[in-house]
Amino acid sequence: MISDRIKISVLAAMGGIIAVPASADFDAEAFPPYERCALCHGLFGESANAKFPHLGGQKAGYISAQINAFLNGRRHNDGGQMVNIVSELKPDEIPEVVEWFSSQDAPKPSGEGSATGAALYEQSGCDSCHGRTATFPDAPHLTAQHAGYLTKQMRDFRDGRRVSGMADIPHGRLMPEVDDAIADIAAYLSSVARQ
């Protein structure tokens, strides 16, 4: 026979187990803030669609700078999707999402890439800021990013739809004028494993 006291404690334990997920289901606060980013960017920062950049393993200072740029309206080349989402983050949740995505694994490289793209990237001096050993503070990793996303960003910089908020550099003027050259660089970068 199970004593009443044991029965009560078993029921209490079951109640506790049942109560935790039930309250989590109804309490948005119980979800970590980065889950709100998962729909587009992937929970671990590896997105399924080239419209949404991979965030996994990106530099913390860069992610943070972009969130602030969306918040203060300096970056608006995303069709306005990000401003509403980041406005809903509480100030203390921003470092939490930055820490989460920057500490995930880098995305896996994809596609073939071409020697033309590699040569153009090299000749344009991009690596002096974006390379593994570059010292430019928080210039983003470009390797293993979606080619489609990189292509759009380079064209946006070139055509003035995106300006660099992180440094007073004529970034747009560094971009190739020809769309095919931009696509070649993007395909090359996307195919390179991040080191």
| Tokens matching residue 127 | 């690596």
Contact call for residues 131 and 140 (beta carbons, < 8 A):
no
Residue 128 CA neighbour count, 13 Å, CB half: 5
Contact call for residues 154 and 182 (beta carbons, < 8 A):
yes
| Tokens matching residue 152 | 């759009």
SS3 category, 166: coil
Binds ligand HEC by CB under 6 A, chosen from 15, 32, 95, 165: 165
Nearer residue to ligand HEC within complex by CB, 8 or 169: 169
Nearer residue to ligand HEC within complex by CB, 9 or 49: 49
Count the site residues for ligand HEC by CB under 6 A: 44
Binds ligand HEC by CB under 6 A, chosen from 50, 150, 183, 187: 150
| 54 marked as part of a ligand binding site | no
| Tokens matching residue 75 | 């970056």
Residues that bind ligand HEC (CB under 6 A): 36-37, 39-41, 51-53, 55, 63, 65-67, 77-78, 81-82, 85-86, 89, 97, 124-126, 128-130, 136, 139-140, 142, 150, 152-154, 164-167, 169, 171, 174-175, 185
